Amino acid sequence: GDSVTQMEGPVTLSEEAFLTINCTYTATGYPSLFWYVQYPGEGLQLLLKATKADDKGSNKGFEATYRKETTSFHLEKGSVQVSDSAVYFCALSDPNRDDKIIFGKGTRLHILP
Amino acid sequence: DARVTQTPRHKVTEMGQEVTMRCQPILGHNTVFWYRQTMMQGLELLAYFRNRAPLDDSGMPKDRFSAEMPDATLATLKIQPSEPRDSAVYFCASASTGTYNEQFFGPGTRLTVL
């Protein structure tokens, strides 16, 4: 079945460092890909999405490109802030099949001032 | 600013008691999901509804959990009787078909069963 694999955390970086969180997926169809973020004490919220190959999703300085050839959707940010400390979930969904989203296990990010 | 609401935000109860969690999806969203999040298991899908009809509850322990949508503005998740292993954060999310299945999450109910 469909699945998402993302790098295990925690990831600890200093403020202004470059961030990459790796995510790869397995899917039989043509899924949409997402990154969700969960700040402490809150629910998940959509950070960015890409709905077809070569699309780039971006939001709040974060970017991810839908790479069909490598089945990847890596999350990047050029200069992280302390406020980016959170748990990041990579996810996929195939709306042609059903309504569900398949989430990765999450990567906890700590940014040190 | 449309958002999913959940009540209560926190619940502490004793083993054996009934617990009811409520969710109000975003107006116009026709799909509602219930998730459970724990440190050990991560995020688990318990059940979901489309147009108020249950489509999949395979993730839910049937003997003690039940989920319903009495109307389009209310979803409930009930645990009876509750057990300490049910302690977790329970999230509701809603979505609208035709939007690439993007889900909007509520703030969660943190349940502690003593």
Tell me the per-residue pLDDT of A39-90, one tens digit each, with 9 for 90 and over.
998 999 999 999 999 999 999 999 999 999 999 999 999 999 999 999 999 9
Q: Does residue A98 have a pLDDT over 80?
A: no
Q: What is the mean pLDDT of residues A16-43?
A: 94
Asked whether the beta carbons of residue A99 and residue B100 sit closer than 8 angstroms, the reply is no
What pLDDT is recorded for position A15?
A: 97
- Say whether A99 and B45 touch across the interface (CB within 8 A): no
Nearest to B35 by CA among B60, B71, B10, B15: B60
Minimal CA–CA distance to A12: which of A110, A113, A89? A110
CB A111 within 8 A of CB A13: yes
Please report the pLDDT score of residue B76 as a whole number.
97
Q: In chain A, whose CA is at the least distance from the CA of B98?
A: A95
What's the mean pLDDT in A89-101? 85
Is it the case that residue B100 has pLDDT exceeding 70?
no
Q: Does A14 have pLDDT greater than 90?
A: yes
Nearest to B102 among A49, A98, A103 (CB): A49
